Structure 1
Amino acid sequence: MGEENMTKTTTKALMAAAAFSVAAPALAETELNFWSWRQEDIAGYEAIIAEFEKTHPDIHIVYTPHEAKAYNTILTTALAGGSGPDIIHTRAYGSLENISSAGYLEPLDGQVDLSLLSKDELLGTTLRSDGKVYAVPFASQTVVVYYNKDIFDAQGITPPETFEEFKAVAAHLKDAGITPLANGTADGWTIEVMSGAFMPNFYGSDFFGQVTSGATDFEDPRYVTALGKMAELAEFMPVGFEGVDYATMKALFTSGAAAMFVGGSWEINGFRDAGLNFDMMPGPSAEAGGERMVATWMDGGYAVNAASPNKEAALEFIRFTATTPFAQMLTDQLNNIPAVDGAVSSDPMLQKVASFHSAATPYIMLVAFRFNKPTGSTLLQTGLQELMTGAKDAATVAKDISDGIKNAE
């Protein structure tokens, strides 16, 4: 980064910090409800909220996380009924569009300083039809392969770099009586995450731009090949993987019953809390010397319920989320890479995740194909569940996905 750009970034960060350090104008004593799906982050958000309340003593925020899979339904049902929380932890892209286009969210343009956020980061919280921003993006997520260092060391395994090396390592572990991969398919979203570690390195860095522009579709031979490579991993998943859900996956990995776990960068804190000696790596390359891309996305944002009777107080908190002090707390408390500029992480694991971003590709279905029904994620998850059990081959799954997206409404 050039000296001039560094000066601009520093100036913005200092201005944001100054804005945060000055207490908000006096408001009537107000309790705000803040809903989320991130149950694993309760302690972190409570600590962040406590810092906000020190400079806003007339505002009290109650953080309520719901079960992740049910969150969208719970939230939209409440909003449709004219209720819901004051502060909404939104998901991004298509999920955000569903609730912002219905008029449930307060537009933030002109009400919140978004200068510490890039255009790419704001893309996930911008409604395509009107170009307005409806949430402050909170963090990026990255798909990685976690591995148990104690198991690798005991088995004399060096982390693999290519796909063939990965399969050889998995076969070694299986022969030693260790489940190579903890991942199952009972929860469809987890097998989609797993695909984000392996498939991009086979369909390549150009595919995302080409498929989103219409220059190709999901029956492209590169995508069919990538699906075929996913199928090759089924033998290394737990016995009865069709019934292995997210909670069981984590239990298999943290107990040492499975050597590897493909998941998002949000898992770091949980694995640490479990006392696991682990490390991470990007998905393997298609061939020696090939790219080892990681799939990334903007995970969601912070929004205000347009029907909230406490809109101004809620906006005060949203303004806080767009500042560098908040971003630093997000990094320190939640081990996430924040969307807002200026935060510096001292965590070596988070630094490693950030280093993987030099070869990043969008998490394809979430970023580009969740705006219509059926969503690309629904089609991919169903297809992968069928693929991994052998019910359908790669070409058939690719055709189902391609046809489903073309006919989506």
Structure 2
Amino acid sequence: MHFAGWMLCALLTLVAPFAHAGTLVIESWRVDDKALWEKVLIPAFQRSHPGIDVKFAPTAPTDYDGRLAARLADGSAGDLVACRPFDASLSLYAQGHLERLDGKPGMQYFEPGAMVAWQTAGGKEAFCMPVASVIHGFMYNKAIFRKYDLQAPRTVEEFFRVLDVLKKNGVAPLALGMADGWEASQLVFTNIGPNFWRGEAGQKALADGRARLTDPPFVDALRFGARMGAYLPAGAATQTYGQSQAMFATGRAAIYPAGSWDIARFSSAPGLELGVFAAPVKKRGDACFISDHMDLGLGVNRASKNKQDAFKFLAWVGSQEFADIYSNRLTGFFTLSNHLIAMRDPVAKQMVEWRNSCASTVRLNAQVLHRGQPSMESVLWRVNADVLKGTLAPEPAAARLQRDFDRWYKPPQP
């Protein structure tokens, strides 16, 4: 080999470790976050990692699972994969599509409790990095509360006294409809329920077969929903989620059973002075529990041809910088890392601080309890809607839930 050829080979050898295998592609269902990723998050990453190109390529939420599975199967999926909590991502890992992440840079910033939605049984293997959760509670119109000298309720009876005052004064107490199906379950039952069944302890008791959905804590949660039904707006059965949002945003209702993802929408609503309170406990002094639902993780496609850069990006997602940007720019989506984040939005700050005084739990059916048919998710939607409408009493509602659960679920034997 002549000298020039030798020099070229030597230069290529020196450059090769620093070369990049092409654009990193991030798969996600969060279409609404595209501008945040393209204009804020990716540029922030590239400031400390120049030369690594990143593309955020979301798919509509309703199509994401199926299309991602197809792309993973035919080898066309992106390098990084947005992970839904629990079984959906566990299935991808079991099929060999996701890298094991234990010990990878960035994973050290997540406590064991933040990891459970993206680990195998017993926490043996992690397959996605936790990114964010959403928290449930109740939003309220501060101006309406001041007008009637009302305080944010802390107990169940205080909550219903507030609803009584509002109703007697001709104010719609609640902006809540049931047309979309999920509201009665996720905005009511699994929002207030943890204070009755004591969060993770109740979920685990069901999973272990030590509790049944006909037990008092679960029936009491249904009774709460039945009582709420008397304060719903006219036409609640056909009122959509969007109509409920508009009703609250324009001051036509005083209280909105909510998820933290709605903070940004209502914080910018003209004339709305937004307040928030946690799901009420049975009596003052009781331990409190909040639905702090793990929403999003991020994994590495095992078939990625750009794995080195993918792990660099994942390490950055575990950083303080990412947690700060994500939690403050995507208001209402809270980092699951142990970094201390100064929340700038006052309502978001109040909600995330509930973690300091209340125990967090995921939605009742999120883990294990929804795997069969009929799924607990679909049954909870129907049953809770009927309870709110007043067409099904709490006790038979609980019996129906347990009957459908018994059709497929067999608790593990000791």
Deviation at 1:130, TM superposition (A): 8.6
C-alpha distance in structure 1 between counterparts of 2:136 and 2:120, whole Å: 25
Deviation at 1:404, TM superposition (A): 2.9
**1:313 corresponds to 2:309:** yes
Q: Contact between 1:124 and 1:300, CA under 8 Å: does it hold in 2?
A: no
Deviation at 1:280, TM superposition (A): 0.6
Q: 1:80 to 1:209 in 2, by over 3 A?
A: same
Q: 1:292 to 1:69 in 2, by over 3 A?
A: farther
Deviation at 1:121, TM superposition (A): 1.0
Could you list the per-position Cα deviations for residues 210-257 of structure 1 after superposition, in whole angstroms to 9, with x for gaps in the alignment? 223321121112211211221111122232222233322222221222
Q: Partner residue of 1:153?
A: 146
Q: Contact between 1:34 and 1:64, CA under 8 Å: does it hold in 2?
A: yes
Could you list the per-position Cα deviations for residues 60-116 of structure 1 after superposition, in whole angstroms to 9, with x for gaps in the alignment? 223244444444344334434543333221111123223222322222234444111
Q: 1:148 to 1:405 in 2, by over 3 A?
A: same
Q: 1:162 to 1:110 in 2, by over 3 A?
A: closer
Q: Contact between 2:178 and 2:238, CA under 8 Å: does it hold in 1?
A: yes
Q: Contact between 1:32 and 1:314, CA under 8 Å: does it hold in 2?
A: yes
Q: Partner residue of 1:142?
A: 135
1:214 to 209, 218, 222: 209
Question: Structure 1 length normalisation: TM-score?
Answer: 0.84
**Match runs of 1:250-329 below 5 Å:** 250-275=245-270, 276-329=272-325
Q: Partner residue of 1:26?
A: 18
Q: Contact between 1:92 and 1:298, CA under 8 Å: does it hold in 2?
A: yes
2:72 to 79, 82, 87: 79
C-alpha distance in structure 2 between counterparts of 1:378 and 1:169, whole Å: 31
Q: Partner residue of 1:394?
A: 394
**1:199 corresponds to 2:193:** yes
Amino acid at match of 1:407: R
* Unmatched runs of 5 consecutive residues or more in structure 1: 1-24
Q: 1:231 to 1:66 in 2, by over 3 A?
A: farther
What is the identity percentage for the equivalent residue pairs of Structure 1 and Structure 2? 26
Could you list the per-position Cα deviations for residues 105-163 of structure 1 after superposition, in whole angstroms to 9, with x for gaps in the alignment? 22223444411111111111112289321110012322111111122223332222222
C-alpha distance in structure 2 between counterparts of 1:59 and 1:120, whole Å: 32
C-alpha distance in structure 2 between counterparts of 1:42 and 1:325, whole Å: 19
Give SS of 2:121's match: coil
**1:115 corresponds to 2:108:** yes
Give SS of 2:76's match: coil
Q: 1:284 to 1:110 in 2, by over 3 A?
A: closer
Q: Partner residue of 1:384?
A: 384
Q: Contact between 2:106 and 2:316, CA under 8 Å: does it hold in 1?
A: no
C-alpha distance in structure 2 between counterparts of 1:255 and 1:67, whole Å: 29
Deviation at 1:373, TM superposition (A): 4.2
Deviation at 1:395, TM superposition (A): 2.2
C-alpha distance in structure 2 between counterparts of 1:258 and 1:320, whole Å: 42
2:341 to 340, 344, 358: 344
Amino acid at match of 2:404: G
Q: Partner residue of 2:352?
A: 354
C-alpha distance in structure 1 between counterparts of 2:79 and 2:312, whole Å: 12
Q: 1:38 to 1:247 in 2, by over 3 A?
A: farther
C-alpha distance in structure 1 between counterparts of 2:400 and 2:63, whole Å: 26
Q: 1:86 to 1:264 in 2, by over 3 A?
A: same
Q: Contact between 2:20 and 2:309, CA under 8 Å: does it hold in 1?
A: no
Q: 1:283 to 1:50 in 2, by over 3 A?
A: same
C-alpha distance in structure 2 between counterparts of 1:371 and 1:310, whole Å: 34
Q: Contact between 2:20 and 2:306, CA under 8 Å: does it hold in 1?
A: no
Deviation at 1:368, TM superposition (A): 4.6
C-alpha distance in structure 1 between counterparts of 2:279 and 2:136, whole Å: 8
Amino acid at match of 1:353: M
Q: Partner residue of 1:242?
A: 237
Q: 1:340 to 1:283 in 2, by over 3 A?
A: same
Q: Contact between 1:26 and 1:58, CA under 8 Å: does it hold in 2?
A: no
* Unmatched runs of 5 consecutive residues or more in structure 2: 1-16, 410-414
1:182 to 159, 175, 188: 175
Q: Contact between 2:137 and 2:279, CA under 8 Å: does it hold in 1?
A: yes
Which structure's CA Rg is the greater one?
A: 2
Q: 1:342 to 1:175 in 2, by over 3 A?
A: same
Q: Contact between 1:151 and 1:259, CA under 8 Å: does it hold in 2?
A: yes
Deviation at 1:380, TM superposition (A): 1.5
**1:407 corresponds to 2:407:** yes
Give SS of 2:161's match: helix
Q: Partner residue of 1:125?
A: 118
Deviation at 1:399, TM superposition (A): 2.3
Number of residue equivalences: 385
